[in-house]
Amino acid sequence: MQFQNTRAFAQEMDARDPLKKYKDEFIFPQVNGKPVIYFTGNSLGLQPRSARKYVDEIMEDWAEMAVEGHFYARKPWWDYHERFAAPLGRIVGAKPSEVTVMNTLTVNLHLLMVSFYRPTPKRYKILCEAKAFPSDQYMLESQVKFHGFDPADAIVEVEKREGEHHIRTEDVISRIKEAGDKLALVLIGGVNYYTGQVFDVEAITRAGHQAGALVGWDLAHAAGNVKLQLHDWKVDFAAWCSYKYMNSGPGNASGAFVHEKHHNNKDLPRFAGWWGHNKERRFLMEPGFDPVRGADGWQVSNLPVLSLAPYLASVEMFDEVGMDALIRKRDQLTAYLEFVLEQVDEDTEGEFEIITPKQPEERACQLSVFLHGQGRALFDYLMKNGVITDWREPNVIRLAPAPFYCSFEDMYEFGQILKNGINQKT
């Protein structure tokens, strides 16, 4: 498609967009009396209008039924999480029994590592990407220390090559082979939070298994954003937060995946809790943990349904649209944003460098832009003029045009505001 950097072209694209109606299903902050252009769905998604209804339903049932709401609410609380199984499975490419919702992301990764990081004196290393999100770095460091190993020795980081912005898949696979029979676990973020690079989950998982390691994924920036086939790719485990592309609200509940090949192994170590116990016998209060078969067997506590309610509102919207339709718009919207940025770069002295891969299969709903010759003053200008974006040191803004609520005209308007900000400075 031949893009044009005009409002008329952007409006025509919006008119033909089959998902255009969903923008009205979200609530936008206002700046200068107008809805913002929102580029930070990779940090916190906007609030779906339906979220309040889902929360209010629980509040009303709590008021009217109190404890009886566990069994007699409109959506009974004791099995509220089961409503996520089928739609979340479709979002991440899993069987319903392989997914659950519980806790928060890093908590879930720690709990899953109880089962899937079982180091021995010989096989103890963990492979991850260099400059992973800090919570993953801290988690991995604490895990290897807990097991008595030195992080400097036990954690293998795959780095980008000198002068490049991305980590090559062949370099990840090469480091996996190099670690060989010392490698216990591969644990990587599905999408790098800083550059927006999408990793080849299938190829890396296969290489990890060939080395005799287990393979898990932090899908914080991937769930609801990229096409995933966790079951078919034979990923051992994964977890993701729900408040970025999945719009569940700040700090909200996490999703988790455990491949069915592990479901029948009741001897697999795990930190047990009441809610992971055999559902049919849970209220008999008997001794001896008998885990639910499936990912639900990794649950620990009674679930916070008030937190799950807005997540369910969003998940049902995802299920209505489907990942394929979202990805089609995502790719067009991201490509148009890239085009607009290139046009602004040509028209100004902006000196932008997009450090996100150009190949569609290696990027998703994010462009990270290095602002050569610019500084935080430009970011501040954008924020004051209704463009909500994200600053990362030393000089990068991250732009995430989420397909549910960003439009092509938003991309055009952003380009005009960006150009004005650069021209005012120069």
Which class would CATH give 53-321? alpha beta
Confidence at residue 337, expressed as pLDDT on a 0 to 100 scale: 98
CA distance 155 to 165: 22
Burial group, residue 156, by CB count within 10 angstroms (0-12, 13-18, 19+): middle
6 DSSP assignment: S
Q: Please count the other Cβ atoms lying within 10 Å of the Cβ belonging to residue 14.
A: 16
H or E stretch covering 217: strand 214-218
Q: What angle (nearest 5°) sits at the alpha carbon of residue 425, between those of residues 422 and 426?
A: 85
Confidence at residue 198, expressed as pLDDT on a 0 to 100 scale: 97
Domain 7-35+322-425 has CATH 3.90.1150.10: yes
Q: Which of 256, 225, 228 is nearest to 240 (CA)?
A: 256
User: pLDDT digits over 32-81, tens only?
Assistant: 999 999 999 999 999 999 999 999 999 999 999 999 999 999 999 999 99
H or E stretch covering 255: strand 254-258
Amino acid at 140: L
User: pLDDT digits over 297-350, tens only?
Assistant: 999 999 999 999 999 999 999 999 999 999 999 999 999 999 999 999 998 876
Confidence at residue 47, expressed as pLDDT on a 0 to 100 scale: 98
CA distance 288 to 301: 16
Q: Please count the other Cβ atoms lying within 10 Å of the Cβ belonging to residue 360.
A: 13
Question: Mean pLDDT throughout 394-418?
Answer: 96
pLDDT > 90: what percent of the chain?
89
How confident is residue 238, by pLDDT bands cut at 50, 70 and 90? very high
Query: Is residue 23 scored above 90 in pLDDT?
Result: yes
Amino acid at 327: I
User: pLDDT digits over 210-234, tens only?
Assistant: 999 999 999 999 999 999 999 999 9
DSSP line for 343-363: HHHHHSS--EEE-S-SSGGGB
Contacts (Cβ under 8 Å, ≥6 apart) of 393: none
Q: Please count the other Cβ atoms lying within 10 Å of the Cβ belonging to residue 24.
A: 10
46 DSSP assignment: P
- Tell me the range of 242-251, 282-291, 348-357 where mean pLDDT is highest: 242-251
Which tokens go with 316?
């049902």
* pTM for this entry: 0.95
Domain ranges of the chain: 7-35+322-425, 53-321
